[in-house]
Amino acid sequence: MEISLPPPCPTPYQALPGGTLPSSVAPTQERIMQSPFDGEPFTHSLALVLANRLVACAVALSLSLYHGHPLAPQAPLTSFAAVSLSNVAATFCQYEALRHVSFAAQTLGKCAKMLPVMLWGRVMLGKRYAARDAARAAAVTLGCAAFVGANRAGAVSPAAAGLSSAATNHASTPWGLTLMAAYLTVDGFTSTFQARLFALHAPTLPNQVLYVAATSALLALAGLVAKGELRPALAFFAAHPRALGAAALLALAATAGQLFITHAIRRHGALLVAAAMTTRQFLSILLSGLLFGHSFSAQQYAAACVVFGALYHKTLDTRPRTSRTSEAILAGKSDAAADSGIEGTACAPSRPRDGRHGATK
């Protein structure tokens, strides 16, 4: 059975600035996970997940109170819990992978999320995608692979922002690639299940964020306690204020950026926002190169042109689709969504809610 999502709204180009907004956050993520603080590496990925979810929860609660939205859950708690569980797992894999793969290799994985999301959409929602959408997704993935595959060995400045040699010459390991594969698989499920949740229950954005983020925070806290990492993580932040500041910046910027992204997805459709998200990934690579001394070859710039060409061809493609639902959720959620716990949904016209959900102002 195919679940129909609301159509995207017009004037899509406003989505691009919001999608590229969090680009400056990626080097902070790289700095935390790959660079020691006073000689001591940060190894508590779930602590970052917890911090990000707490910030997202506080923002959602503030928005709900400000707009007078009901605080009661507007979808089954089991549905929110399913999204939260997969979201925490995906975010943990994302952060943990940075300890075992290069930043560019992880960025490749994030750009390649289109294909697994398409597969999950087909399996879970019965989606049918136009052949040109599948071709563009393949072009994006191949372009990203060419970009990373052409990386110059040893092209890192030894004075790269005070990073250690182990961090600046980070090589991808089999375990790191396994974590990235797990991230792609679980991340694709999260965004697809979230689209299904919105299609069936249509919760308001603050309500959706509040319950997903709150449940995710509880799961992350339980994981820290079970692994015996809660006290060591707090002690690390107390001993290294720069790490605490970087974690706070990551949480705040990820949440703020995803508010723009989710608004754009609601108004303009997920596939368009995929262009903004992948643009963000390449901007992150370029910014990382400027800050940490990475350099790029002519082949890498050519590969970037292939990716941008495929994405913006989609943005400019106004031909009728064979199926209205071929656009839905191809983008998946961005890594900012993973960071903040805020998931994207498609555009829906405003309408009064029934008695179960309360009135929406």
Above 60 in pLDDT, residue 170? no
Percent of the chain at pLDDT > 70 equals 62
Residues whose CB falls within 8 Å of the CB of residue 282, separated by 6 or more in sequence, listed in order: 107, 111, 147, 304, 307, 308
pLDDT in tens, 316-325: 665 655 444 4
Contact 278/115 with Cβ under 8 angstroms? Answer: no
Q: Greatest CA separation found in the chain?
A: 63
Top pLDDT among 212 and 303 is at 212
Which stretches within the chain are classed as H helix?
A: 15-20, 25-34, 45-67, 77-97, 103-111, 114-125, 131-149, 165-168, 174-201, 205-226, 230-239, 241-268, 270-292, 298-316, 335-340
CA-based nearest residue to 270, from 34, 45, 15: 15
Quote the pTM value. Answer: 0.69
pLDDT in tens, 62-116: 999 998 988 999 889 988 898 889 889 988 888 888 888 777 767 766 767 777 7
Structure tokens at 105: 């290799």
340 pLDDT tier (thresholds 50, 70, 90): low
Rg (CA), the chain: 20
As a three-state string, the secondary structure of 333-344 is: CCHHHHHHCCCC
